[in-house]
Chains A and B, each alone.
Chain A
Amino acid sequence: MKLSLKLEDQQQNQNPILFKAKIPIAVFGLPFLSAFSATHHHAAAASDKLSLSLRTHFPTGPSLKLSYNTPTTTANSGAGKMDTSPKPKSKSKKPKYSRFTQQELPAWKPILTPGWVIASFVAVAILFIPAGLLCLSASERVVEIVDRYDDECLPDSYSNKGDSFIQSKDTNKTCVRTMKVPRKMTAPVFIYYQLDNFYQNHRRYVKSRSDKQLRDRSYADETRDCKPEDNLDGDENEPIIPCGLVAWSLFNDTYKLSKGNKVLDINKKDIAWKSDTEIKFGSDVYPKNFQKGELIGGGELDETKPLSEQEDLIVWMRTAALPNFRKLYGKIYSDLEANETITIVIQNNYNTYEFGGEKRVVLSTMSWLGGKNDFFGIAFLTIGGICLFMAINFILLYVCKPRPLGDPSYLSWNRNPNGL
């Protein structure tokens, strides 16, 4: 805490400081320094200059100062001063000169010289081509097995009648498929189900959910946007939890994998986003009245487990952006050797036959870029190649047809001086 007072000997200068004080104060717990000073002008009669200022007083970092001065009555603020008020002393009405208002700020004015442009194209090419090769190699290292099963798992008697196959309760929906591992797949191996022609990004579908209801038990009645899957039989006191078309169409095919006669354990924990399991889906919200209506859209939910533990539902409710998408089903934490045969027992429960959708099961390893996606590699290589091509073209043009920049003889009024 420090208070300082400064009084000057009057003979020393023309505008002696009568009184000056600096007092530290605290506002809202933040340190400030306030200063007050009064000077007396001998030359200009009756013009005592008074000034007050308030400055932040943090131990480190930049400071902000607000000050008020009389008699010119300008109030400056901020770290940079911009003084544009006219001085009443002189008779001239010319506004005070400042770099900003006169647009005289120093400026960097680049122009497109051949050197810079060619250099930038070459730089892009040099960066992109190796990056493309890197991405391609990463994608090549990923081993992926895809198997379409919706057409194969339909018995011949029901071909073209897939929807009735699914909807009937008597049919056997078990299906056994085999896959061969092309190369060694190191753990963890991710199992996805891929759906094609399934428009999770349709506007009515995307809207049809209630995030409030999923998060909090007390909002169980918030089913406004969820029509038609909001209430059980139209009874307002029986809301469906979780409501909406997104939850209603939960994917319910199941897969069991085995290698030879050894069953592979599929870990179905931690397949959803952590933020979803912790915040978005409440741990005190339990499913109620789910899939009890006439139309069954997908799987059912265990009413004893809270929503935050229903990871399949959580994964499904992350709506996909495109009609062809993959969602995580589970993970296998053991290696799969090359040329091994994997047997999958599929429960073909989900009805994609009604709208011509396709179902696939995918086993894939991951790289630093994600799953198998050649797009990055190809795109980088293409763009790098095009840039190199452009750079070479420009170099050739520059060498063969040099055009001096800024040659005023090209100005049209210099070419025909007698008329424009």
Chain B
Amino acid sequence: MGLRTLCLAWRELNEIEYQDWSLMFKEANSTLVDREWRVAEVCQRLEHDLEILGVAAIEDRLQDGVPETIETLRKAGINFWMLTGDKQNTAIQIALSCNFVSPEPKGQLLLVNGKTEDDVCRNLERVLLTMRITKSEPKDVAFVIDGWALEIALKYYRKAFTELAILSRTAICCRVTPSQKAQLVELLKSCDYRTLAIGDGGNDVRMIQQADIGVGISGREGLQAARAADYSIGKFRFLKRLILVHGRYSYNRTAFLSQYSFYKSLLICFIQIFFSFVSGVSGTSLFNSVSLMAYNVFYTSIPVLVSVLDKDLSEKTVMQHPQILYYCQAGRLLNPTTFAGWFGRALFHAIVVFVITIHSYAFEKSELEEVSMVALSGCVWLQVFVVTLETNSFTKLQHLAIWGNLVVFYMINWIVSALPRSGMYTIMFRLCRQPSYWNTMFLIVAAGMGPVLALKYFRYTYRSSKINILQQAERLGGPILSLGNIEPQTRALDNDLAPLSISQSKNGRNSVFEPLLSDSPNAVRRSFGPGATFDFFQSQPKSSTYSRNKDN
């Protein structure tokens, strides 16, 4: 039944016996060699002839929302392993109750038991064989291994065990010690998996530190796990939001920020390189030092700082379609191909700016300071539109940052142009009065952004990526139905069949409010399943003697 049992018994001790025993106990406690074994031996001497009083059974409850979290994250393509200190039966019961494995006949549990090397070897081989055969079938197969067998497997049969680890999506390891937990994480890391370890007790600290991402649940057992972790959350179910919402957004934003920073610097560098071809390859800098310094600090940094508010898909959509997380894995948004795309864009824009500038400002208009400012203005205008095109959601701050940036550019240059001692005296004023300056700006923006826009539109409509499809579905309103399930199971069907009601007008201009903290007043409450009333801890200390209640 999966209850934790505690047996109570009693015996009367007399004084002399206790004194003798106490001495032996003290001695055993202070030995340097084999202390645990000595202490256990001494305790054995005391524990005999006991009269049983009774048995207490404790039901260990799972936390709120654990089964749903695991199911959603499974759909997102994340494999789950349970590492616990409980015994096998308890662990299996808990796994069944929280969606870890499906009950028979859909799911199958393969046990790897054994106390000796041969035993373990045979079991391992058998399980491996079964795994290889059932790999092609849509069966839910998981293996169960306990601490002893794990020790032997890791020491003697590491290769076979690694293969088993790669083949299986789910695993349950019971009676594992903290160091074994860390070893398992290390094993998976060496197979090039990205690992996330989540736990709440002091015995999980090693595992948390070993994993790529460590998440600690701060709560009942204290703050050790939370302190050692990279991220600390309050409940297990927050993991879903951590990965699907925050993790995804963070990845998108980081990918954009890093590639954009390269792009804007490459733009200036390419223009300087092209200018050197017409200046006798002597190393003349087209841009003066004030402009170069201000470019990186003032003219191009503010729009990207505000890009941390960018959201490509709303949370509701992501929660409904956790499979979208696949699109973030394997570096889909930040890899040599995408980087080459930005590099090419920088080169193309540099060519556009350079060619247009030197042809518009030729012959009698050709003056070094003016040409420099025209080229710089062209770059800044292009940046503004590039950021606009790459941003998915425009809050007021983003509008302010992007367009305000342009205004700041002109203001800074007007101020510098008003200083008589600067090399740029009156340059910007002269330029802004010339119609050819504004013509040049329009030309640069149109020539630079036209192909980019056309390419993006073409890819968006005719070669949509999954993110794009979901974006369109979301913005244009209407239900987003997910017709297929990855794991068809008799249990709860996809909740997506209920049409989502998003209110919007047809042309896609919405104000969509998205709560990030699920307790915020604007959160849309959706009940995923029967209100679970269990507490769950992923790993248990070896001896757990206290009861947990459902807590909020």
A residues whose Cβ falls under 8 Å from a Cβ of B: 94, 97, 100, 102-114, 117, 120-121, 124, 128, 131, 135, 190, 192, 194, 199-204, 206, 211, 273, 275, 279-280, 318-328, 364, 368-371, 373, 375-376, 379-380, 383, 386-387, 390, 394, 397, 401, 403, 405-420
- The answer to whether B363 touches A371, judged by C-beta atoms less than 8 angstroms apart, is yes
Which residues from chain A contact B481 at a C-beta distance below 8 Å? 408
Contact B138 A418 (CB under 8 A): yes
Cβ of B161 within 8 Å of any chain A Cβ, yes or no, is no
| B457→A117 contact, CB < 8 A | yes
A-B contact pairs, 5 of them (CB 8 A): A107-B512, A111-B472, A407-B473, A417-B484, A418-B138
A410 vs B468: C-alpha distance when bound (angstroms) = 11
Q: A328–B278 contact, CB under 8 A?
A: no
With a cutoff of 8 Å between Cβ atoms, the chain B residues found around residue A417 in the complex are: 483-486, 488
Residues of B within 8 A of A113 (CB): 507-508
**Contact between A206 and B284, CB atoms less than 8 A apart:** yes
Given A113-B508, A406-B478: A320 in contact with B425 (beta carbons within 8 A): no
Which residues from B are CB-within-8-Å of A387?
Answer: 446, 450
Q: CB of B475 within 8 A of chain A?
A: yes
Please indicate the chain A residues that have their CB under 8 angstroms from the CB of B508 in the complex: 109-111, 113
Tell yes or no: B358 within 8 A of A by CB: yes
Q: Which residues of B contact A (CB under 8 A)?
A: 77, 138, 278-280, 282-284, 286, 309, 311, 321, 323, 326, 356, 358-368, 370-372, 392-397, 420, 423, 425-426, 430, 434-436, 439, 442-443, 446-447, 450, 453-454, 456-457, 460-462, 464, 466, 469-476, 478, 480-486, 488, 507-517, 519-522
A105-B395, A135-B439 as given contacts; A280 in contact with B446, CB under 8 Å: no
List 20 additional A-B contacts (Cβ < 8 Å) besides A108-B393, A324-B362, A394-B457. A103-B311, A106-B396, A106-B511, A108-B395, A109-B508, A111-B475, A128-B442, A201-B280, A201-B284, A321-B286, A322-B358, A369-B435, A371-B365, A380-B443, A383-B443, A405-B476, A406-B471, A411-B323, A417-B486, A419-B138
Beta-carbon contact of B311 and A328 below 8 Å: no
Given A109-B508, A201-B278, A103:B309 Cβ within 8 A: yes
User: Which residues in B have their C-beta under 8 angstroms from that of A406?
Assistant: 469-476, 478, 480
Whether A273 and B513, one on each chain, are in contact in the complex, defined by CB atoms closer than 8 angstroms, is: no
- Whether the Cβ atoms of B367 and A112 lie closer than 8 Å is no
User: B324 to chain A: closest CB distance in Å?
Assistant: 9
Classify the secondary structure of B's interface with A.
loop
CB pair B280 A199 closer than 8 Å: yes
Please name all residues of chain B whose beta carbon is closer than 8 Å to the beta carbon of A412 when the two chains form the complex. Answer: 466
Q: How far is the CA of A373 from the CA of B453 in the complex (A)?
A: 29
Determine whether the beta carbon of A280 is less than 8 Å from that of B425: yes
Q: A279 to chain B: which residues have CB within 8 Å?
A: 420, 425
Taking the closest CB of chain A, its distance from the CB of B499, in whole angstroms, is: 12
Q: Nearest Cβ distance between residue B354 and chain A, in whole angstroms?
A: 11
Contact partner of A107 (CB less than 8 A), chosen from B356, B393, B436, B442, is: B393
* Nearest chain A CB to B322 CB, angstrom units: 10
Q: Shortest distance in angstroms between A253's beta carbon and chain B's nearest beta carbon? A: 17
Return chain A residues, CB-CB under 8 Å to B471: 109, 111, 406
Tell me whether B363 and A326 are in contact (CB under 8 A).
yes
A415 CB → nearest B CB, Å:
8
Question: Which chain A positions have C-beta within 8 A of B443?
Answer: 376, 379-380, 383
A102 touching B516, Cβ below 8 Å? yes
Which residue on chain B has the smallest CB distance to residue A273? B426
Q: Which of A102, A325, A397, A409 has the most chain B CB within a 10 Å cutoff?
A: A102
Docked-complex contact B394 and A201, CB < 8 angstroms: no
| List of A residues within 8 angstroms of B77 by Cβ | 420
Report yes or no: A201 in contact with B364, Cβ–Cβ below 8 A: no
List the B side residues contacting A280 at CB < 8 Å: 425
Interface contact B475-A203, CB-CB below 8 Å: no
Given contacts A105-B397, A107-B394, A112-B456, contact A97 B461 (CB under 8 A): no
B521 partner residues in chain A, CB cutoff 8 A: 97
Alpha-carbon distance A106/B311, docked complex (angstroms): 12
Q: Which residues of A contact B454 (CB under 8 A)?
A: 117, 121, 390, 394
CA distance A325 to B371 in the complex (A): 13
A118 to B359, CA, bound (A): 29
Most buried by B among A110, A319, A416, A419: A110
List chain B residues, Cβ under 8 A from A105: 309, 395-397
Are B365 and A370 closer than 8 Å at their CB atoms? yes
Closest to A279 in B: B420
Q: Which residue of B lies closest to A373 (CB)?
A: B362
- Chain A residue numbers with a CB within 8 Å of B393 are 107-109
Name the CB-closest residue of A to B279: A201
CB pair B356–A379 under 8 Å, yes or no, is yes
> What residues of A have a CB within 8 angstroms of the CB of B512 in the complex?
106-107, 109
Question: Which single residue of chain B is at the shortest CB-CB distance from A417?
Answer: B484
Cβ–Cβ < 8 Å partners of B461 in chain A: 112, 114, 403, 405
Nearest CB in chain B to that of A364: its residue: B364
Rounded to whole Å, the gap between the CB of A174 and the closest CB of chain B is 26
Cross-chain contact A375 with B368 (CB below 8 angstroms): no
With the chains together, A394 CA to B366 CA distance in Å? 39
Q: Which residues of A contact B279 (CB under 8 A)?
A: 199, 201-203, 323
The answer to whether A109 touches B510 (Cβ under 8 A) is yes
Point out the residue from A108, A114, A420 that lies within 8 Å of B323, measured CB to CB. A420
Question: Once bound together, how far apart are the Cα atoms of A204 and B279, in whole Å?
Answer: 11
Asked if residues B425 and A117 are in contact (CB atoms below 8 Å), the reply is: no
- 10 closest Cβ pairs, A-B complex: A417-B484, A406-B473, A406-B472, A106-B511, A321-B371, A107-B393, A105-B395, A405-B472, A201-B279, A203-B282
Q: Which residues of B contact A199 (CB under 8 A)?
A: 279-280, 282
Contacts of B482 in A (CB 8 A): 408, 411, 413-414
> Residue of A at shortest CB range from B323?
A413
Cβ-defined contact, B366 with A120, below 8 A = no
Cβ–Cβ contact A323 & B359, under 8 A: no
Whether B368 contacts A201 by the Cβ 8 Å rule is: yes
Complex Cα–Cα for A334 and B480 (A): 75
Task: Indicate the member of B282, B364, B447, B513 with the most A CB atoms within 10 Å.
Answer: B364
Pairwise interchain contact A375-B366, C-beta atoms closer than 8 A: no
CB-CB < 8 A to B309: which residues of A?
Answer: 103, 105, 107
- In the bound complex, residues from chain A placing their C-beta under 8 Å from that of B470 are 406, 408, 411
- Contact (Cβ within 8 A) B366 A411: no
From B283, B370, B430, B513, contact of A106 by CB (8 A): B513
Residue of A100, A109, A386 near B394 (CB, 8 A) is A109
The reply to whether A383 and B450 contact each other, CB–CB distance below 8 Å, is yes
Given the known inter-chain contacts A111-B475, A112-B457, A383-B443, please indicate yes or no for A410 contacting B362, CB distance below 8 A.
no
